[in-house]
């Protein structure tokens, strides 16, 4: 939804697509580069302490793939250098085609059919690739061919619900029924098709999420739109990146001190959740302020300069 909204604003304001790319790159890259460095240091420390570390985590080629944001296509780099890095890699890969897909979604009534067909084709490619693979089978769950259909579902939703989705209006009553259908369809698909291959699971959850998103603008609005959820949304990128480090710290400390044995079994998951949420949120506030926000401001400045230069060139060409 963010991609659809931000790129649509750029198109409506007649901004060059390079300005949009500048904003998105500086939104993602600074924190991710910091994560590459910090997690590489963590891998070294963990190895010295005798903890398990993926042999792929410190390979120079894999680190370079993450720096270049092509790690979503490299089995050894997709998730080992930065934990959870697959999501960022897939997102950056999607940015390559996102503006064109948004233009298509805004102008062509056949877009839903085109995107559904493309999504089905990508899932077929992913399934065949995993079936014929002899190694790195988990890679095919995370790579773009498996995850892109989820983005396609989001684009379809945005294109058909844009009249109210990007406003303050609640979801129209008729959409609530559609939300329940989407939730039911996603869960049914997960319990049937999802059991055939886990590669279909993200798409099933994508359909269900559309239902939840509609309900979030309807009967669940107070639950999804409040001061706490808005605050979490603002730090969500940092929160996602840093929470893996908190989990690693918990596991490493428990490996050395065995303190989890003193926590009742039923309480362990809630304790880990609270520890991770509180610790990661605290760090995320700092990384948001000192890493994310400066990058966002720099991206906005660069995008403004690109737009001004483009308009100057256009004005000169017409005079």
* pLDDT at residue 240 greater than cutoff 90: yes
Nearest by Cα to 170 from 221, 211, 225: 221
Report phi then psi at 134, rounded to 5. Answer: -105, -10
Q: Please list, residue by residue across 182-218, b when 16 or more beta carbons sit within 10 angstroms of its beta carbon and e when fewer do.
A: bbeebbebbeeebeebebbbbbbbbbbbbbebbbbbb
- Both structure tokens of 289: 């302020």
pLDDT of residue 3: 78
Q: Where are the domains of the chain?
A: 227-298
pLDDT of residue 109: 73
**What is each CA distance from 11 to 14, 106, 107, 120, 197, in whole angstroms?**
5, 10, 12, 28, 39
Nearest by Cα to 238 from 167, 279, 286: 286
pLDDT of residue 11: 67
pLDDT in tens, 113-163: 888 899 999 999 999 898 888 778 889 999 999 999 999 999 888 888 888
Query: What is the tally of helices (H) and strands (E) in the chain?
Result: 15, 0
Q: What is the mean pLDDT of the chain?
A: 89
Band of the pLDDT at 10, cuts 50, 70, 90?
confident
- Residue 254: strand, helix, or coil: helix
* pLDDT at residue 91 greater than cutoff 80: yes
* Low-confidence winner among 120-134, 159-173, 224-238, 239-253 (lowest mean pLDDT): 159-173
Residue showing tokens 């399934």 = 127
Residue showing tokens 């992913």 = 126
- Both structure tokens of 20: 């949009």
pLDDT of residue 319: 61
pTM of the model: 0.91
Helix, strand and coil in the chain, % to nearest 5: 80, 0, 20
């Amino acid at each position: 939804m963010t991609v659809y909204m931000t790129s649509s604003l750029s198109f409506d304001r007649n901004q060059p697509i390079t300005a949009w790319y500048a904003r998105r790159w500086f939104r993602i890259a600074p924190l991710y580069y910091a994560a590459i460095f910090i997690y590489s240091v963590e891998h070294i420390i963990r190895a010295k302490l005798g903890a398990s570390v993926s042999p792929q985590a410190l390979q120079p080629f894999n680190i370079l793939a993450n720096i270049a944001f092509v790690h979503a296509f490299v089995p050894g780099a997709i998730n080992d250098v930065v934990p959870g890095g697959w999501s960022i890699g897939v997102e950056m890969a999607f940015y390559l085609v996102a503006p064109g897909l948004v233009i298509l979604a805004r102008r062509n009534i056949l877009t839903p059919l085109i995107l559904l067909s493309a999504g089905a084709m990508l899932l077929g490619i992913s399934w065949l690739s995993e079936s014929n693979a002899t190694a790195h089978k988990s890679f095919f769950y995370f790579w773009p061919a498996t995850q892109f259909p989820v983005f396609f579902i989001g684009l379809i939703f945005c294109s058909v619900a844009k009249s109210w989705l990007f406003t303050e209006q609640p979801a129209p009553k008729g959409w609530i029924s559609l939300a329940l259908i989407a939730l039911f369809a996603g869960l049914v698909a997960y319990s049937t098709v999802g059991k055939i291959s886990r590669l279909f699971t993200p798409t099933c959850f994508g359909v269900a999420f559309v239902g939840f998103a509609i309900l979030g603008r309807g009967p669940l609005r107070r639950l999804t739109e409040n001061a706490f959820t808005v605050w979490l949304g603002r730090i969500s990128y940092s929160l996602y990146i840093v929470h893996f480090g908190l989990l690693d710290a918990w596991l490493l400390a428990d490996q050395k001190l065995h303190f989890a044995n003193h926590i009742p079994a039923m309480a362990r998951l809630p304790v880990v959740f609270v520890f991770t949420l509180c610790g990661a949120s605290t760090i995320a506030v700092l990384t948001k302020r000192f890493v994310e926000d400066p990058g966002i401001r720099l991206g906005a400045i660069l995008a403004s300069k690109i737009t001004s230069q483009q308009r100057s060139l256009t004005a000169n060409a017409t005079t």
